[in-house]
Amino acid sequence: MPVRVEVLERQRLHDGFISVERLRLRHALFGGGLSDVLIREVYANRRGVGVLPYDPQHDAVILVEQFRIGALDMPSGPWLIELIAGMVEPGETDEVVAHRESAEEADCRLDVLWPICEYVSTPGVSAETVQLYCARTDSAGLGGIHGEPKEGEDIRVHVVSMGEALEMMSNGVIQSAMPIIALQWMALNRQRIRDAWL
């Protein structure tokens, strides 16, 4: 099989909260041959996990709200309504991360995990992949402020009905891709989930 991507040089530019690499490369063209040499910066390879806890008894979901630097200049401000989420550390599985982050960010215990999808979050500039889950939970008593202070987390937990969550998405209150993807999936699969979990 012919080479579809030829990496000529790879240079690490930054190691911190994120890692950035610069690549010189050429890639195969749909019409044949290779592209000119391109220079691209990319966030180094990471894997995230997002989880939408769902309480089928109350038809409610758990969402979290927190400060996000990437939304600093958005007119609505940098506090976003999101899914519970975290990064996979070496030796961890996606499922372990889903349970750990749910406990840390929302004091929420998960039961069954139902895979939603895996996607590349921002393929133009990032190699980060995300695995999304819907998870059965009991929403009784959930809410308040949570997070890991040593990680600078200050997270408000919201327990909202599915109807309210879908309205928040439709009205632009939810502006982050991860919860939009998960809530749209729930809108399509809600009855199937309820049939399986009730």
Judge contact between 164 and 183, C-beta under 8 A.
no
Judge contact between 8 and 19, C-beta under 8 A.
no
pLDDT value at 26 more than 60: yes
Higher pLDDT, 115 or 45: 115
Query: What does the chain come to in residues?
Result: 198
Distances (CA, A) of 62 to 48, 114, 143, 153: 18, 15, 9, 17
Confidence of residue 49 (pLDDT cuts 50, 70, 90): very high
The distance of Cα 187 from the centroid of its chain, to the nearest Å, equals: 18
Q: Are strands 5-15 and 84-87 parallel, antiparallel or unpaired?
A: unpaired
pLDDT value at 46 more than 90: no
List, for residues 73-131, the tens digit of each pLDDT value: 999 999 999 999 999 999 999 999 999 999 999 999 999 999 999 999 999 999 999 99
Which residue, 69, 67, 68, 185, is CA-closest to 131?
A: 185
Catalytic residue among 148, 151, 153, 164: 151
Q: Where in the chain is the domain with CATH 3.90.79.10?
A: 47-197
Q: Does domain 47-197 have CATH number 3.40.50.920?
A: no
Confidence of residue 24 (pLDDT cuts 50, 70, 90): very high
Q: What is the mean pLDDT of residues 56-85?
A: 96
- Take residue 15 and report the two structure tokens written for it: 């190691």
Give the mean pLDDT of the chain. Answer: 95
User: What pLDDT, on the 0 to 100 scale, is given for residue 44?
Assistant: 73
List, for residues 138-178, the tens digit of each pLDDT value: 999 999 999 988 888 999 999 999 999 999 999 999 999 99
User: What pLDDT, on the 0 to 100 scale, is given for residue 2?
Assistant: 60
**151 catalytic residue (yes or no):** yes
- Take residue 73 and report the two structure tokens written for it: 């200049």
